[in-house]
Amino acid sequence: MPSESSYWILTVPVQAESSTEQMYIDIEKRLAQDSAATSDDIAPLPLPALKTGTLESLITLSEDFARTDALFTSITTRISDTVSMLVDGDEAALAENLQVNGEPVDKYLFNWRWNSGKYRQDRSLPDLIQLLTREMQTIDHAIKQRLNSYNSAKSTLQQLERRHTGNLSVRAISDVVKRDDVVPSSDFLETLLVAVPRNNVSDWNASYERLASMVVPRSAHEIARDDEFALFSVVVFKKVHDEFVQKAREHKYVIRDFTWDEGIQEREQGELQDARSLEKELWHELLQFSSTNFDEAYEALQHFKVIRAFVESVLRFGLPAEYFGLIIRPNARRLKALVGSLAGHYSGLSEYMSRRDKNGESATHQDTPGEYANLLEQEVFPFVLTEQLRL
């Protein structure tokens, strides 16, 4: 069963007694009668006159279709996911940035035409596939580079911001420590900064002088306080530094490494601001780049899907390569009705194929190697159906 979350590209041969216009009218009427789809959910998909080449070349192409399809779809999906991440899932922003040829994907597909200026129809199918593959790989490489640069800048900013968040036991303290909180440089004395849990402040005040043998009496001074910790400065002799630190940790006090620097706060703020500016700049660049390349990638993906539908139609129905195409947006609640209606409407194709083979009009099945012939025999539907990415 084809997926309800994708678009469907359906192809069938154009029969002599009909036209593509009439075929569309007929299928539109049938789907409406069966309550399987509305006219808003389907549209004709004009298939270009591509060069078929030899049967062997078509079979060779078809063998790589699944792998190439998966690659193209994953690249396009990754770009879409990048845009979604950048706009934090905002639906309006997504709609604005995930467009093809300046219009929503739905509208693009329902008015689709082969871009002959970009993908010349007189080129061989292998050449077209190669051109599309190079284009998609170039897009993928460029997106990955931009995304890595942005993620690096974002990670740096998050690290800097973390230094300015949290409680006094972990955050940067250059903005709360003043010059007077630290004793001048001395050969014997030093100031230690200690984050004390608020519940333990009374114990600290009563016992800090005894944490080591040479602590300057009454030197503890509260600098700042938050919901969890109080930050104290205390003066000790350098020779008991390690002893004091060890005892403080045993009491669950946090020694904060800090060296007074006149310009440290200004430098830290400047560093944070620079990181924010860079992250914002790269965010804008990546969003614009992703939006542009989604356009390119989805267009390339759609042209590949049409080539795949064309090749599989030739292998299925034979020559002449004149096919009717239909783009369908399935409704999950009408999925079974849709499949049944399509299968019923095109049930005559089995008889059509049998008649062609008997008349010798197509040697596709007889000449097809056993492996591919078996695959054709396993086909569930009387038509060729190719699924397209639906966002």
What pLDDT does residue 166 have? 87
- Which helix (H) or strand (E) is 11 found in, with range? strand 7-13
What pLDDT does residue 353 have? 64
Phi/psi for 124 (5° steps) reads -70, 155
What pLDDT does residue 352 have? 60
Per-residue burial over 358-377, b if 16 or more Cβ lie within 10 Å, else e, is eeeebebbeebeeebeeeee
pLDDT average per 10 residues of sequence, the chain (391 residues):
94 91 96 96 96 93 96 98 96 97 97 96 96 98 97 95 88 89 88 97 96 95 96 96 96 92 80 95 98 98 98 93 96 94 90 59 44 46 95 90
What pLDDT does residue 366 have? 42
Nearest CA-CA partner of 31 in 339, 377, 362: 339
What pLDDT does residue 369 have? 42
For 219, counting Cβ atoms within 10 Å of its Cβ (0-12 exposed, 13-18 middle, 19+ buried), the class is middle
What pLDDT does residue 280 have? 97
What pLDDT does residue 223 have? 96
Q: What count of other Cβ atoms lies within 10 Å of the Cβ of residue 215?
A: 21
d(CA 281, CA 153): 10
Structural domains in the chain?
7-154+279-388 (1.20.1460.10), 179-260 (3.30.70.100)
pTM of this structure: 0.81
